């Protein structure tokens, strides 16, 4: 009997060792934030058409962490993520490698935190953020029409959006991140953040619209250049009918992301996907010299006020990220001296914004320079 037990223990040890060697980092996206869990995938369970893939928690292989379904066309069917307690955390359905239909995120007690619908991997339809008591609709990944927020006394605050742009109301903190495409289990890597967008004019137009209309961007610019009551009042003159009035430099520059790398390293990033991309880029905080990438006179023509002392400078697109700088001068800048003025401007005159575009060239989020 002792000999049999020894043999069984040997095989159990051998199996456990080989099994535990296959620990993988599974990246799960919970709406707009990422979570990484260590899992071990069990042998695949196949049927005549569908293949089910089960991952157990690496630190407790008796508990299922994640469940996926595949067929010959890729990920199709039910997708589930579990808490270590065994309760369901995320439930949705995939079709042709994209989320299609209902998506639900539960807390550890089984209460719904967020519930909404996707269409071909993009938020489309009614969404209820029950954890923050915000409700509304998305259209092709962007907030559209009426959104409602309720406070603790059930008082309603209504905001209106037009294809992602706040046009009336208070807006919400999430306006900083118009994230519509969920990457779910796709881990951000150097291979997935390549520059895939080949129509810069489309990007510039979205960025200009964002600077002109977005209420969160407006508050960030006022906060940066304000500080004192007198300065805050002075900033108001750069807004007309609540729209930002700025000139655009025709010089597209090589602007590095040093300040945003630093924010990422100190944990001050607010947009999860921008933080993930920055962490995959070369981790160098050394500032690069400012170089002229190209001159595009059409940019200057799109200025909301060509004589404004507030000037916007575009950086080049890199890994779907584009830095833009808002620079405040004491007087308007001559069209032929934008580059020279930028180089001589001090850091207190500049405010940097990092924009994220998805692979389709749609503006999805913005990270602001911290004090």
Highest average pLDDT, of 158-167, 185-194, 230-239, 348-357, comes from 348-357
* Digit-coded pLDDT (tens) for 28-86: 888 877 788 899 988 776 666 778 888 999 989 899 999 999 888 889 999 999 999 99
Distance between CA atoms of residues 298 and 306, nearest Å: 12
pLDDT band at 280 (very low <50, low <70, confident <90, very high): confident
The pLDDT of residue 156: 82
**Residue 352: is its pLDDT beyond 50?**
yes
pLDDT band at 235 (very low <50, low <70, confident <90, very high): confident
pLDDT band at 233 (very low <50, low <70, confident <90, very high): confident
Distance between CA atoms of residues 43 and 48, nearest Å: 16
160-164, 166-170, 267-271, 319-323: least confidently modelled range:
166-170
Tell the residue number behind the tokens 């920055």, with chain if given: 278
**Residue 190: is its pLDDT beyond 50?**
no
Tell the residue number behind the tokens 């309720």, with chain if given: 150
Contact 71, 64 (CB under 8 A): no
Distances (CA, A) of 57 to 30, 38, 66, 192: 18, 6, 8, 26
The pLDDT of residue 357: 86
Question: What fold characterizes domain 21-176?
Answer: Outer Surface Protein A; domain 3 (3.90.930)
- Parse the chain into domains and list their residue ranges: 21-176, 200-368
Q: What is the DSSP string of 285-348?
A: -PPPPP-EEEE-HHHHHT-S-TT-SEEEEEEEEETTEEEEEEEE-SS---GGGHHHHHHH--GG
Whole-prediction pTM value? 0.50
How long is the chain?
371
- Tokens for 202? 């489309």
């Amino acid at each position: 009997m002792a000999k049999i037990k020894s043999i069984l223990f040997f095989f159990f040890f051998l199996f456990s060792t080989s099994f535990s060697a296959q620990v993988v980092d599974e990246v799960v996206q919970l709406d707009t934030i990422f979570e990484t869990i260590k899992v071990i995938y069990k042998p695949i369970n196949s049927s005549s058409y569908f293949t089910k893939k089960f991952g157990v928690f690496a630190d407790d292989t008796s508990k299922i962490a994640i469940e996926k379904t595949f067929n010959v066309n890729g990920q199709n069917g039910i997708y589930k993520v579990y808490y270590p307690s065994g309760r369901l955390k995320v439930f949705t359905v995939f079709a042709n490698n994209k989320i299609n239909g209902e998506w639900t995120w539960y807390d550890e007690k089984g209460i719904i935190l967020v519930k909404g619908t996707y269409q071909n991997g993009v938020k489309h339809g009614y969404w209820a953020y029950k954890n923050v008591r915000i409700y509304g609709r998305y259209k092709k990944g962007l907030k559209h029409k009426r959104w409602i927020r309720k406070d603790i006394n059930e008082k309603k605050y209504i905001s209106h959006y037009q294809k992602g742009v706040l046009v009336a109301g208070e807006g919400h903190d999430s306006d900083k991140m118009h994230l519509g495409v969920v990457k779910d289990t796709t881990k951000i890597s150097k291979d997935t953040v390549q520059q895939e967008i080949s129509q810069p004019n489309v990007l510039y137009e979205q960025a200009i619209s964002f600077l002109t209309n977005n209420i969160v961007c407006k508050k960030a610019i006022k906060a940066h250049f304000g500080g004192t009551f007198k300065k805050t009042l002075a900033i108001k003159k750069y807004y007309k009918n609540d729209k930002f009035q700025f000139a655009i430099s025709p010089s597209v520059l090589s602007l590095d992301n040093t300040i945003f790398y630093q924010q990422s390293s100190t944990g001050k990033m607010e947009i999860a996907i921008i933080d993930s991309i920055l962490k995959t880029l070369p981790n160098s905080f050394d500032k690069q010299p400012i170089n002229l990438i190209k001159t595009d006179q059409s940019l200057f023509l799109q200025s909301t006020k060509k004589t404004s002392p507030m000037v916007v400078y575009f950086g080049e697109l890199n890994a779907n990220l584009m830095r833009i700088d808002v620079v405040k001068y004491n007087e308007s800048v001559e069209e032929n001296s934008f580059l020279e003025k930028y180089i001589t401007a001090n850091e207190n005159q500049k405010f940097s914004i990092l924009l994220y575009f998805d692979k389709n060239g749609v503006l999805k989020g913005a990270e602001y320079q911290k004090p």
